[in-house]
Amino acid sequence: MRGGTSRGAFLLADDLPVGLSGDTVERDDLLLRIMGGPDALQVDGLGGGHPLTSKVAVVATSATEDVDVDYLFLQVVPDLQVVTTAQPCGNMLAGVGPFAIERGLVQASGDVTEVRVRMVNTGTVATLRVQTPGGVVTYDGDTAISGVPGTAAPVEVVLAPSPHPLLPTGHLVDTLAGVEVTCIDNGMPCVLVRAADLGVDGTERPEQLEDDAALTERVRAIRAEALTAMGLDPNPDATSVPKIVLLSAPQDGGVLSTRSFIPVRVHRSIGVVAAATVAAGAAFPGTVAHDLAKLPPTGEPMRLEHPTGFLAVGVETDPHGHVTRTAVVRTARMILDGVVHPRPPRTTKES
């Protein structure tokens, strides 16, 4: 399925030999073989050779009160032997609602069906509103989102605040690798950096940024220090966080211009939970984002500009500037419904 600007495999936990929380070594090996990793092209599997098209959602009926389904997100890093649960994915989340209804985990009710999802990676709860005219999921509609050709049916996504501390280092501003940054986590661990502080203007195309060796080295150095400062797995190759988000003044009537290293490749748009985290930073006085942001009048969505357009993030805050609710509109689509044939496990001789 495509969920928002991402694409990946959606699986029922019951169809995995290890379920949602079984042996992770066996699970990760199976997912690598399903997606075709490790291989930059993922030629022998379902992955598309980019982190945005190498994603897996595992979904199960939830035992949690007031929640319909549990959703575990797994990032399969295309060219490495790495499958990580260190991050959520709010784009794939948009596909979880339709998938749960299609698979009978949630009954459609009326023209719009609400699906409450526990994001297992972070503990954040999300509510999705899925179009189900006549009790059947529809993917057709008039909603366009930046970064996806054409239009499709909207999936409204509302995120409750992350249960984790907003400022993992305890500071509004830290200096990492000699650069002033804000380390922030409203569901996605992010490091917010002024693009100008890294010698770029922040409106470059993703490939230009990826090809800039001096820039990527500075991003790598910031991330290396951020891993420890934010209490994350210190091995940069074992995880896909934090995201390093370069910020600059808006160019097109938005709040901020963004370029996200996720964390090595540059996002063609912006992640949903990452956007919720950037928005939380923009709303919070004293962060590097707040100083650059052109905030809209209270109650209006924050338009975050990104390489292929913008993402409008509806943000509600309490009197202290803490985000209490984040809302975005995504679309999703079932691309193929079938049986995947994973590559067989490697023999000891081959590996």
Nearer to ligand NQM, 106 or 262 (CB): 262
Stretch that binds ligand NQM, among 57-65, 89-97, 244-252, 315-323 (CB under 6 A): 89-97
> 344 φ, ψ to 5°?
-65, 155
The C-alpha atoms of residue 14 and residue 55 are separated, in whole angstroms, by 18
Q: What x-and-dash track marks residues 98-137 binding ligand NQM by CB under 6 A?
A: ----------------------------------------
From the list 86-94, 228-236, 249-257, 304-312, the region that binds ligand NQM by CB under 6 A is 86-94
Read off the DSSP letter of residue 143: B
Residue count (the chain): 351
Nearest residue to ligand NQM, scored by beta-carbon proximity? 271
Does 52 sit near ligand NQM (CB under 6 A)?
Answer: yes
Closer by beta carbon to ligand NQM, 167 or else 274? 274
Contact call for residues 183 and 229 (beta carbons, < 8 A): yes
273 binds ligand NQM (CB under 6 A): yes
User: CB neighbours of 86 closer than 8 A, spacing ≥ 6?
Assistant: 75, 121, 232, 233, 239, 240, 241
CA atoms within 13 A on the CB side of 227: 16
Regarding 2 and contact with ligand NQM (CB under 6 A), the answer is no
Query: According to the binding rule CB under 6 A, does residue 223 interact with ligand NQM?
Result: no
Beta strand extents in the chain (DSSP E only)? 2-3, 6-12, 55-61, 69-77, 82-84, 112-119, 125-131, 154-159, 174-176, 179-185, 189-194, 243-248, 256-261, 302-306, 309-317, 323-333
User: Does the footprint of ligand NQM cover residue 243 (CB under 6 A)?
Assistant: yes
Does 274 interact with ligand NQM (rule: CB under 6 A)?
Answer: yes
- Shortest reach from residue 117's CB to ligand NQM, in Å: 13
Tell me how far apart the alpha carbons of residues 112 and 132 are, in angstroms, rounded to a whole number: 5
The smaller minimum CB distance to ligand NQM, of residues 108 and 115, is found at: 115
Task: Output 52 or 155, the one with its CB closest to ligand NQM.
Answer: 52
| Eight-class DSSP state of 200 | S
Applying CB under 6 A, among 101, 262, 292, 304 the residue interacting with ligand NQM is 262
**Binding string, 140-179, against ligand NQM, x = CB under 6 A?**
----------------------------------------
Q: What is the DSSP string of 283-330?
A: HSTTSHHHHH--PPSTTSPEEEEETTEEEEEEEEE-TTS-EEEEEEEE
**Residues contacting ligand NQM: total by CB under 6 A:** 16
188 binds ligand NQM (CB under 6 A): yes
- R_g over Cα of the chain: 19
Q: What residues contact residue 151 under an 8 Å CB cut-off, 6+ apart?
A: 141, 142, 143, 144, 331
Report, in Å, the least distance between residue 210 CB and ligand NQM. Answer: 14
Which residues of the chain form contacts with ligand NQM (CB under 6 A)? 5-6, 51-52, 89-91, 188, 240, 243, 262, 267, 271-274
